[in-house]
Chain A
């Protein structure tokens, strides 16, 4: 089926804690390799021949305007242009990174991606107005500020950035310049999370970890996540059977920090999704209860003795779930697809690895989930 474009499965990077060179990039997320990942577009307008362009996944659509406009300029009537794009009639929100739009709206990747450009009739009730590059830049910086606040508890480092650093950072994002990005973003001193996978590997290979070799950056347990959920009501086996998204109503999205919980076991992507989408994991908590050898009826009885009403309702729900047919009510809503940066990560990947390696340059981890909803 040829799904992911970037999709050779990412092999987790194991940072070398023994390297003697103290490179300024140590502890920098690897994600910015994605700066060089491009989407291939056909951009259509009226009856003109489509314009072909490669656009960076981490970029934003309005940034393509200077490239697109000259191509169609001869067909445009005089007047003021306000550029916007649609895919199958759905206006594309420009403040969502291009790669995320693709992952979200094209579960079965369409290559090249056929989108339509418009120069008039801006759908101002759906899309935030875009005053060109400045709007995009500030949307990016504000997003970065929010991420910094989640990770560090304040966004002073972003707010106190010098004008020239800010500009350099923005240009590195706009031009997909990895080296420049790493140089400037390292000044922000945004805490990266401990890579549990790496420490596991180290333990396995029985290497001793010399504490002082760890990058001197502060560690945080809070990961900025932007979660997008596409609900599909029709069941499907193949991704190309998913009906096209005709309205933003079918997509819910939220910003939410995910706290990496330090427990005995590794905190995985699965654990993170369970916090974000608890209702989709209801069945599973039931399974766990069973697997854990706890008698469900006992559990219900005990909780009924509690006077906390919420708990009782919830547990009764689980009780009802004991009958296979009732259980089906819950299990009929299912996660069908998870995509981050164009790849479909396995759920058992340590979340710290995902957080360190798949985030966007605004330090948000953009996670697209497709859910099949009960009929």
Chain B
């Protein structure tokens, strides 16, 4: 066990795997409102040395739309694949395209999240993409509307250093990414300030959980206190 004071806040590829499994397990057992994270193996590139972590975590089709006129706290609701069809088609007929203000129609938007290990920064990185119920990809300014107020403020302040569109390292398609360059630093602070950890040890099993408790807030995804016990 490492002392937090001597630690730089990073994670090795192997520890990422351990942390990811521990996180997924806790998530599944405690956070029943959400589907479980699944561990996907990295596609094998012919000839390239395979990444040590061997895979990444994926949580897909999470509805990020906020209920109409709900203000600051994003309430995330999960909708099954089957249900999603019905909840939109019901509104389709009453929707009048000519009206500028769509008063009682709020199209649902979904997000896929991937937690990928960065061998450069040696920390987990959150990749995401968002789309409408018909599969049309959502541009960042549309996604912004679904984010809690503090995230969209941050986004307008740091247009190019907070969230940018980049290639997914394994899928090689445009995804959005939360910039990881400060992660190691704030992770260290997070562990240092943890009163429940008086011995100041780096508990690998808690790394991803602590990390997600911060990055998840960008989307209003809050971890219930129960899981982090």
Contact = CB atoms under 8 A, between A and B. Distances in A.
A146 B120 contact: yes
Interface string A118-130: 0000001111110
Contact of A138 (B49, B120, B137, B164): B164
A229 B45 contact: yes
Interface in A129-145: 129, 134, 138, 141-142, 145
B181 A257 contact: no
Interface stretch (A199-207, A270-278, A314-322, A353-361): A270-278
Given A138-B164, A150-B120, A257-B119, A277 B47 contact: yes
Nearest to B140: A129
Given A125-B173, A150-B120, A257-B120, A252 B164 contact: no
A254 B57 CA distance: 19
A252 B48 contact: yes
A138 B137 CA distance: 22
A280 B47 contact: yes
Given A127-B174, A138-B164, A255-B120, A145 B48 contact: no
A155 interface: yes
Interface in A92-120: 93, 95
Contact of B49 (A129, A224, A276, A371): A276
A256 interface: yes
B127 to A, nearest CB: 13
B47 A229 contact: yes
B137 A254 contact: no
In the complex, which range does the number of interface residues on chain A fall in?
35 or more
Interface string A241-253: 0000000100010
A142 B49 contact: no
Contacts of B160: 134, 138, 141-142
Contacts of B120: 146, 149-150, 224, 255, 257
B142 interface: no
B46, B137, B172, B174 — which one has the most chain A CB atoms within 10 A of its CB? B46
B217 interface: no
A340 interface: no
B48 A129 contact: no
Contacts of B161: 138
Contact of A254 (B45, B121, B166, B179): B45
A55 interface: no
A248 B174 contact: no
B167 interface: yes
Interface string A261-294: 0000000000000011111100000000000000
Given A138-B160, A146-B120, A333 B174 contact: no
B75 interface: no
A373 B164 contact: no
B46 A129 contact: no
A118 to B, nearest CB: 17
A146 B177 CA distance: 14
Contacts, number: 71
Contact of B46 (A125, A127, A252, A254): A252
A61 interface: no
B46 A231 contact: yes
Nearest to A231: B46
A222 to B, nearest CB: 10
A254 B164 contact: no
A93, A129, A149 — which one has the most chain B CB atoms within 10 A of its CB? A149
B165 interface: yes
Nearest to A256: B119
Given A150-B120, A257-B119, A252 B181 contact: no
A124 B137 contact: yes
B67 to A, nearest CB: 30
B48 A276 contact: yes
A333 B119 contact: no
A149 B8 CA distance: 13
Interface string B143-173: 0000000000000000011001111010011
B160, B169, B181 — which one has the most chain A CB atoms within 10 A of its CB? B181
A157 to B, nearest CB: 12
A227 B48 contact: yes
B164 A142 contact: yes
Contacts of B45: 229, 252, 254
Given A126-B173, A128-B167, A129-B174, A278 B181 contact: no
Contacts of B166: 128, 142
Interface string A142-176: 10011001100101000100000000000000000
Interface of B: 8, 45-49, 119-121, 137, 160-161, 164-167, 169, 172-174, 179, 181
24 contacts: A93-B167, A128-B166, A128-B167, A138-B160, A141-B160, A142-B160, A142-B179, A146-B121, A149-B120, A149-B121, A150-B120, A153-B8, A227-B48, A231-B46, A248-B172, A252-B45, A252-B47, A254-B169, A257-B119, A257-B120, A276-B48, A279-B46, A333-B46, A371-B47
